[in-house]
Amino acid sequence: MKRGDIYWAILSPRSGSEQSGRRPVIILSHDAFNQTHAWRSIIVVPLSTSTTQARRGPTVVALSAGTGGLPGESCALCHQITTLDRAKLTEKIGTLSAESMTLVEQALLAAVDIRR
């Protein structure tokens, strides 16, 4: 499990406008944590296929079908960063390219108002 990998995850239970159910997520946490099996928490960015979500602005990154192995058009919801227990990650889908991961990182910076 590495930063930039895309996995199917179980995002339940959740509440309100949080993404829920079985959906792809992008691994965001540092590889030192990801590759330490005793470290149970994994930081992720949930993905959505909602066209409404795709228009939400600079904290959303559009990912075309096939990107990182995704089965359909999706968008990374960088304003919904969350932490999951690694047991909620079920199956690896693929890995984002460096270019796609850079777009996700830029959207994350916008979401948490970090300036470089």
Give residue 15's pLDDT band: very low, low, confident or very high (50, 70, 90): very low
Q: What is the pLDDT of residues 58-80, one digit of tens each?
A: 899 999 999 999 999 999 999 99
Tell me what pLDDT residue 116 has. 66
Determine what percent of the chain is predicted with pLDDT higher than 90. 66
Q: Does the pLDDT of residue 42 top 50, yes or no? A: yes
Residues 106, 103: Cα–Cα separation, whole Å: 5
Please, are residues 71 and 44 in contact by the beta-carbon 8 Å criterion?
no
Sequence spans of domains, the chain: 5-111
| Residue 44 half-sphere exposure toward CB, CA atoms < 13 A | 26
Summarize the confidence of residues 2-14 as an average pLDDT: 86
Q: Which two tokens stand for residue 49?
A: 């296929």
Beta bridge partners of 91: 8
Correct CATH for 5-111 of 2.30.30.110, 2.160.10.10, 3.90.1150.200, 3.40.50.1100: 2.30.30.110
